Structure 1
């Protein structure tokens, strides 16, 4: 049960503001919410099953100490990635020969390939020997995060500045990454710690401020007031 909760929480944090959450929110503007969530569920099961298999394989061939260091670095990358934010291109408006669920599933599966949440699933799987529970946790986490994005996206954009959501999620990853790398590496000294903090601060500034994507989530979640077809119900 612990690994399910861990996987669920980490994926929920990783998915907040991620391009697959943005895609789900955009799809909800074209299809019914239950159809979008069903497509997300199907795509996530297949996509994260591949990720869990990859993570379990890496766990069997790479020493655990190396896995911990790699996982710590990936946590830091996920944190910086979250601070920078994601953006998606406009959703293709051409009619599709597939039904809504299949259309969403295909789009979501392709968008999730190599995405932050898929890499997160691989990382968690490489640290644990419970693939079924990890798949359950990450799948439920994706549904929760995308459900929040679809149903609560407009409310969050009205009441919670997007930058707060990004920074809270990003700092959580950076914190876990820093703790993990501190425990995995034995040659820390005050000089190395200061150097690490300085480098991390520069990276946080670059990804969180200098090269950050702004307002993408709210552009999708909130309707266009100038468009009479685009109104909240």
Structure 2
């Protein structure tokens, strides 16, 4: 599977029920301005995942390739397990309404994404695939595929998705990729 396609699918599925998706829902219901929210999510994700992919690319040059494939495979398996743990939004943003929908979303989305499953997945994907730009584009597209419907449709979309099934499917994909990487290294 290509870096672009796998990055898109894995992040789109991993994002379902993630805290950044919950944040997108919260911002959509608070501001009721989908266009600036979606634009800010796009920019924040490009910046965040660009940095994550750069780190993954750097690790490719820093670590012996024999060890890197084992590390990437282990990372995929651990991501699969982590995806099974549902997220909840820890802190509700306060006093951000004065910044407007775009700036609030941009700052909060970038910060909440730091250390998140999808950012870690981007690092792992960038170490596994040599196509860094495809990984960045793919993970950003995956993020948008998961979040744009939530922003546009609000609570309806979040309540109707089979989150448990989506988590298990995503976990299976990551674990299968990890096992495949272990078998073929």
Is structure 2 residue 61 aligned with structure 1 residue 24? no
Query: Does structure 1 residue 163 correspond to structure 2 residue 164?
Result: yes
Matches within 5 A, 1:39-188: 39-151=40-152, 154-155=156-157, 157-158=159-160, 160-184=161-185
Q: Secondary structure at the match of 1:84?
A: coil
CA deviation digits over 1:100-155, x for unaligned, max 9?
A: 11110100100111111111111111123322222222111211111233345624
Structure 2 unpaired stretches of 5+: none
**After TM superposition, where is structure 1 displaced by more than 3 Å over at least 4 residues in a row?**
148-153
Say which SS state the counterpart of residue 30 (structure 1) adopts: helix
The number of aligned residues is 183
Which structure is richer in relative contact order (CA contacts within 8 A, separation 6 or more)? 2
> Unpaired segments of 5 or more residues in structure 1?
185-233
TM-score (norm 1): 0.71
Q: What is the TM-score with the length of structure 2 in the denominator?
A: 0.88
The alignment partner of 2:176 has SS state of: helix
Q: Which has the higher helix share?
A: 2
- Contact residue 78 and residue 116 of structure 1 kept, 8 A: yes
* Structure whose alpha-carbon radius of gyration is higher: 1
